[in-house]
Structure 1
Amino acid sequence: MAIEIPSNGRSVGIIGGTGLTTLSGLEISGEKVVDTPWGKPSAPLVFGSLQGQRVVFLARHGHPHSIPPHQVNYRANMWALQQAGVNTVVGVNAVGGIHPDMVPAHIVIPDQLIDYTWGRGHTFFEEGAEGVTHIDFTFPYTDAVRHALIQAAESLGLAHSRVGVYAATQGPRLETAAEVLRLERDGCDIVGMTGMPEAALAAELNMSYGCLGLVVNWAAGKSAHIITMEEIEAAIDQGMAGVKAVLERAVSSLGR
């Protein structure tokens, strides 16, 4: 399949993850159920305005939250956003903390990632595309997007990390303690299940992309107890207000 990339508008795409299925500050102008050559996206596209900036919001796991990480149709999601005129995307991700600084409810804007996923639709350039295409993925997150998110967190006085290595694992199960030790040896600071192939697909479509991570638990073996949903939900309740505030503060810069 040939990839046709139309001229993009100035809309900012926000992909909500666990804990962010809606965006309360979004002045909604409409919703649209769309289809793509790759199937249906996770949820209808929600069009609106956030702090005066045109925004398209998409719930990665569906609304209500029902699609596990390994079954998200990442290609349909990114294609739909790009066709809707989005040229900059912020992916919100709930992650586990590996590095000692990555405590629950902490915000992190990673600068690198390592992909441990498998079996996902991870590229638009499959058999039938015109020639073999290799994208440069040295820096998976766009500097301008990261800078806008970092500046927003700093201006709000929120505790955050401006760098970090995101380990993208398959899910839907959480990792073993031994697997987390391996990730730590590999240099990973946080671990999540939805960071890839989303970032690479954005790059294939020439969209700027950044990750806004919220640590919702210590990774396996990094605390004295097992991971519980109560622990995760408590961290989401504590930290999601900061995530939303960062998005609201950064969105006007992201649309430039």
Structure 2
Amino acid sequence: MHAAFATGAPCWFDVTTPDIPAAAEFYTALFDWTAEDLGPEAANYTLLRQGDAQVAGIAPATTPDGSTVPSAWTPYFAVSDTNATVAAARDAGAAVFCEPMDVFGQLTFSVLSDPAGATYAVARLITHPGTQNWGAINGPCWVEYSATGAPADAMAHYAEVLGWKYTNAAWETAAENPYQAVSPGSGGHEFGGAHHAQPGEPAPFWSMTIRVADVDAVVAHAAELGGKLLAEPQDMPGPSRVAALADPAGAAFAIMSFGA
């Protein structure tokens, strides 16, 4: 496994879309990224970069069998053995959407859904650097799970498959369905969390959060670029300020800025 990522930590993100150039135009304008189309031999998979650092990718919404998948961001979690992890996930109740696949010798990955139906992916990075500049301005900084039931119950699947630690967040006071803070089983910083979904919120669902300098400014810019506001900016513990957006094709993501 790539030394830069602890087992189970988020190591890559990509978004499926019916129009890769349009998605590239939206995200490069919103986050000051650059885009590189890897060509027809890679199904026009497009890399998004922040300077020289790779951030994420854009994948076609059309699958090899000709069917289509919804526009959505998918988090990839780092593993040392993709085949073994997929076998463990199956045993833990996961469904496998994409069997382990090699990508030009750079990584092997698989796309799954947990027992509740939330999509996630696992990857063994070989030469692929994964998501770089984690936590930097205009880089991914968090993953968030919206659960239909108790967040702790949902996280039990990932603890079994990926070795995660999960616990009530330090600021949590609710006795019912408390928010879960998630970290690698080997120790280290929290990289995500799980909350009980509010009425009308997509669930079960994984979302990616991008750190930004000014949430309100990015919300306004996203609207100018054809994006949609899903959740108004609000102040959260941390302190932080958070909003949820969707790109023009409907893929949801969050943005977050941190207080002083």
> Same fold, TM exceeding 0.5?
no
Q: Structure 1 or 2: larger strand share?
A: 2
User: What TM-score results when the alignment is normalised by the length of structure 2?
Assistant: 0.29
Q: Structure 1 or 2: larger helix share?
A: 1
User: What TM-score results when the alignment is normalised by the length of structure 1?
Assistant: 0.29
Instruction: Return the structure number with greater relative CO, CA threshold 8 A, min gap 6.
Output: 1
